[in-house]
Amino acid sequence: MPLTGHDCTVPALLIDTQAPLDVLHDAAVHRIQVVTQLLENLAFREQLSSDAVVLSDFAHLLAIPLRDGCDLLDVISRRLNADPN
């Protein structure tokens, strides 16, 4: 399944939807925790000054792994909902 964060006609980055659930979960957790840790570090800084362009680029940088993690969680959810157990 192509990652949804990059819209193109020929996807270069894919999720193996048949990978073991624990592998998909680990990949999702890693990406989401990286973004969370960075945002928490920024939140505890006393001073954060930057212009709008830098903040926009930074937000985009954080959105990429967060979107990847959400895509992985979507695959896990679909697999779990399809599992008759």
Write out the two tokens for 37. Answer: 């840790």
Average pLDDT over residues 39-62: 80
Closest C-alpha among 32, 12, 10, 27 to residue 76? 27
Give the span between the Cα atoms of 37 and 13, in whole angstroms: 24
Name which residue leads in pLDDT, 50 or 12: 12
Average pLDDT over residues 26-40: 94
Report the pLDDT value the prediction gives residue 85, as an integer from 0 to 100: 66
- Show Cβ contacts of residue 79 under 8 Å, excluding neighbours closer than 6 positions: 17, 21, 24
- The pTM (predicted TM-score) of the whole model is 0.82
Measured CA to CA in angstroms, residue 35 lies from 18, 28, 29, 30, 60 at distances of 25, 11, 10, 9, 11
Q: What is the band of 58 on the pLDDT scale with cuts at 50, 70, 90?
A: confident
